[in-house]
Structure 1
Amino acid sequence: MRFESFFTGHKASVLALAGNPKEPFFFSVGADGLVVRWNVHNPDEGDVIIRLNGIVPSMTYDKQSNCLYAVLNQKGILEIDHTKRKSELIVPLPSTSFNKLVVSGRYGIASAKGGELILFELKEKKIIDRIQTGLESTPQFILDEAKLWHYGTQGFDTISWDENGFKRSDSIHFKEDVCITSVGKYIWASEEDFLHMVDMKKQGKIFTIETKHGHFIKLLGSKESGFMVALLKSGDLVTIETSKKNALVGQPVQKEHNGAINDLLWSENYTFVITAGRDKKIGVWRFN
């Protein structure tokens, strides 16, 4: 993976990224409230979609509706029509601070500080269920079709849902808090200096390897390739090639950002990795 260029234009830290990993366009949102549309090949042609009043810690793009969804601290969940350049507060959640948002089909899930997961219905614009994970911090989770995987005090839970809410199933336990992602049908969990491979169907650890590069604080997986990109606590990036029996961890790539990286995103058929920097810059990296 090699650094290509910076996209500039935000007046404050770039907080979150969103886009379809198969397309060259993507969106960013900054602490300045600006939501900007970019093309990975045109660093000087950012198009400001809208300005939001508040902090957006997470944003996602839904291909089905061609809309952006974002969590706005102290206000709730927004739907952003980037073609009409307007936003709507679809789920009011005052006095709530968020961490992560994922949308899939009819549903969306937001994690809130204090350990709560909030399941909501997009079309009806209503909350279906809320679950307390038992964590004081924000829970880690991923979405795989109609299943939600999250790590809490009771372990690594698989949760499915329907119109009636969440349904728990088995748990997998680790000693420490983890960050997780999915690659194909497997879940990968990073715990301190170790990386665990977890089978979604059998619900158990398959193997564990030592990363040797320190603690991963963010993992970016892919359903259509056997690769991950990991963000180290130091701010460096690492590529990981995975298989059913092993994971090959590459050498760290020195970060180009002057400060922390807030978010990672795949772009254009997994050819590029986009990074959101606290230094107001968006980094573009070519993935080999």
Structure 2
Amino acid sequence: MIVEKIDTFGGHREPVYTLEHGLSTDQFFSTGGDGQVVRWRLDRPDLGELIAMVPASVYALALYPANGLLWVGQNYEGIHVIDPAQKKEVASLKLTSAAIFDIKFYKNEAFVALSDGVVVIVDADQLVIRKHLKASDQSARSIAINPVEREFAVGYSDNVVRIFDLVTHTLKQVIPAHTNSVFTIGYSPDFRYLLTAGRDAHLKLWEVEKNYALQHDIVAHMFAINHLAFSPDARLLATASMDKSIKIWDAETYRLLKVVDRARHAGHGTSVNKLLWTDVNQLLAASDDRTISVWKLSY
């Protein structure tokens, strides 16, 4: 595999914590410690466009597919709903005085993970809170949805992953998954496995239909794993770490294919926080160094 850095997007004044797809394939959004929500065009890294500004760090950003509105999780305040076309806030929801770590959508519901251990379920169309799920006193960090089994998984800072029913929202299973905080989780594209990772630098695979039995435990990085993401064609898995590297894995065998770092590829010099695949051969990475890098992958 050949990995080539093709662009760098700069302009944020603080670490970039999260990325989200745009309304078209040539666009994406970014935000982070400076509260600036920026829209970028992949072919014009010099043309970042500020579409919203919130007065606190943002860890969670999610585009609601039903109406093309962007949900911004402002720490200690709640949700700001932005119309990217008009570049203005069209609604807000005062959810919490806690930090917001993740937002995921399923049908017309939004699942919001908070630093006080609560997962809030919101009617995404009416912007009404439906339920609070309090299963831990420590942060809910990451949410993954499995429509096949009608479940969703939440990774927490108490080292545990909890499985909930997607319809009734009842707690179904508790998995003592890691030896430290679980920062990122995701189902494999075929929904056979749940992947979990976090501060202990291990990447773990749990077989869904075998009651989430542990299948693989990979010592994947030197330091905390901040994010994992599958490529759109389900062939590759990428992991991003506080050790400043991105690693590319075969998504069938989970064999390591490539290490993308500063020494070999002019990678990031600080923690890599978030990944975003824009197509099967292109991966974006956001970092504490205030930049977003664009990587082209080829065989």
TM-score by length of 2: 0.84
Is the contact made by 1:99 and 1:111 (CA closer than 8 Å) also made in structure 2? yes
Deviations 1:184-230 (A, max 9, x none): 11211236354332233333235214336434332122464131111
Moved more, 83-92 or 71-80: 83-92
> Which shifted more, 123-132 or 212-221?
212-221
Identity of aligned pairs, percent?
A: 18
Instruction: Say whether residues 1:174 and 2:184 are aligned partners.
Output: no
Partner of 1:258: 269
Secondary structure of the structure 2 residue equivalent to 1:287: strand
CA, structure 1 residues 264+196, in 2 after alignment: closer, same or farther (shift >3 Å)? Answer: same
- Stretches of structure 2 that go unaligned for 5 or more consecutive residues are none
Determine which of 242, 246, 251 is the counterpart of 1:242: 251
SS in 2 for 1:44: strand
Secondary structure of the 2:177 match is: coil
Cα deviation for residue 272 of structure 1 reads 1.5
Q: Which one-letter code corresponds to 2:152 in the other structure?
A: L
| Partner of residue 200 from structure 1, selected from 204, 208, 221 | 208
Letter in 2 for 1:199: E
Is contact 1:76-1:89 (8 Å) kept?
no
What's the RMSD between the two structures over aligned residues?
2.5
- In the alignment, the residues of structure 1 paired with residue 268 and residue 159 of structure 2 have an alpha-carbon distance, to the nearest angstrom, of 37
Q: Which residue of 2 aligns with 1:151?
A: 155
Paired with 2:52 and 2:221, the residues of 1 have a C-alpha distance of 39
Q: 1:278 aligns with which of 279, 282, 288?
A: 288
- Residue 161 of structure 1 corresponds to which residue in structure 2? 166
Match of 1:201, SS?
helix
Partner residue of 1:187? 194
Alpha-carbon contact 1:183-1:228 (below 8 Å) kept: no
* 1:139–1:13 distance in 2 versus 1, CA, 3 Å: closer
Which deviations, in whole Å up to 9, do the C-alpha atoms of 1:137-193 show, x marking residues without a partner? 33432123353112355953321234xx51222343324243322221121123635
The size of the alignment, in residue pairs, is: 283
1:93 aligns with 2:95: yes
Q: 1:210 to 1:28 in 2, by over 3 A?
A: closer
Q: Which has the higher contact order (CA 8 A, sep 6+)?
A: 1
Change (3 A) 1:2 1:136: same
Task: Kindly state the Cα deviation for residue 78 of structure 1 after the two structures are TM-superposed.
Answer: 1.5
Of the structure 1 ranges 175-184 and 272-281, higher mean CA displacement relative to structure 2 is found in 175-184
Contact kept, 8 Å, 1:213 with 1:252, in 2: the verdict is no
Contact 1:18 1:28 in 2 (8 A): yes
Unaligned runs of 5+ residues in structure 1 are none
CA offsets per residue over residues 239-277 of structure 1, 9 Å max, x none?
A: 01122xx3112342114223222322111x232211222
